[in-house]
Copies of this chain bind each other. A is one copy, B any other.
Amino acid sequence: MAADDFIPIPKMTVTMDYDPYETLCQDCRLVELCLPYGLPKTELEQFETIVKNKAPLLTDQYLYQQDEKCQSLFVVKTGSFRSFIYSEDGAEQTIGFYLPGELMGFDAFQHGRFTSSSIALETSKVCELPLSQLNKLCRLIPSLQSQMLRVLGKEIESDHNLILLLGHRSAKEKMATFLLRLSHRYNALGFSKTEFNLTMKRQDIANFLGITNETVSRLLAELNHQGIITINRRNVKINNMDSLKVIVE
């Protein structure tokens, strides 16, 4: 630790950390989906001062790990992440996939340690929001405070949706729901809602939905065969959105 004082910080990090462009929320195309959404300009500028940039993460690199102390929240800037928890016996359960504009790390609020791990599915960038500064700012800016609670509420709602999915749906309904929700989220980001690439493995989808990867394969093949989707490795085209919705009911 003490040695760090004498070693120059790697240049890239310095660039990433202080590049003024990188930290400007005002210019970020995701600002309407992100935490500071709706803040007046002066307060947005305050907010920008606490945002730190991290070096981009490569595929399969951890953003944080379960039980690690939580110092910051993170927002996906580009790329995507998978978050998951280990049960006592070491089995993984994928909790969710995170796309640009989405916040990660809330589950650490209870004890100050992450209760899940988060791993990059592809080369990805995040904005880091140091908790100490974020908390201070929340006290100064009431609307940021309520925005925080709103995003937390969204996290809870998304968990509830997953619970609903896992508890009462057949494998086919789960698969169709998964595709529809991805489509919806990509659409909200300004991408096509009928064609997108899955950034996660079949195994990840299976684990998320509480089924096996063989079942995922079979169901995707079936939907493909019926012409409802066209799937080629990770590339998905939705040909008939309504049919998917019928499956979900």
Contacts and interface: CB of A to CB of B under 8 A. Distances in A.
A146 interface: yes
B157 A156 contact: no
A85 interface: yes
Interface stretch (A47-55, A86-94, A188-196, A225-233): A86-94
> For the side of the interface on A, what is the size category?
35 or more
A183 interface: no
19 contacts: A85-B160, A87-B168, A91-B168, A93-B167, A95-B160, A108-B153, A110-B156, A116-B160, A135-B145, A135-B146, A138-B145, A139-B142, A149-B152, A152-B152, A152-B156, A159-B159, A163-B166, A167-B208, A168-B210
A198 interface: no
A41 interface: no
Given A109-B152, A111-B153, 9 more contacts: A85-B160, A87-B164, A107-B156, A108-B153, A109-B153, A109-B156, A110-B154, A166-B166, A166-B210
Considering residues A106, A115, A146, A152, which has the most beta carbons from chain B within 10 angstroms of its beta carbon?
A: A152
Q: Which 7 A-B pairs have the closest CB atoms?
A: A109-B153, A110-B153, A167-B210, A166-B166, A159-B159, A109-B149, A110-B154
Given A139-B139, A139-B142, A157-B115, A164 B109 contact: no
A69 to B, nearest CB: 14
A130 to B, nearest CB: 15
B249 A89 contact: yes
Main secondary structure of the interface of A (DSSP, over half): helix
A122 interface: no
A201 interface: no
A43 interface: no
B156 A156 contact: yes
A22 to B, nearest CB: 28
Contact of A163 (B110, B155, B159): B159
Considering residues A116, A153, A208, which has the most beta carbons from chain B within 10 angstroms of its beta carbon?
A: A153
A234 interface: no
A160 B210 contact: no
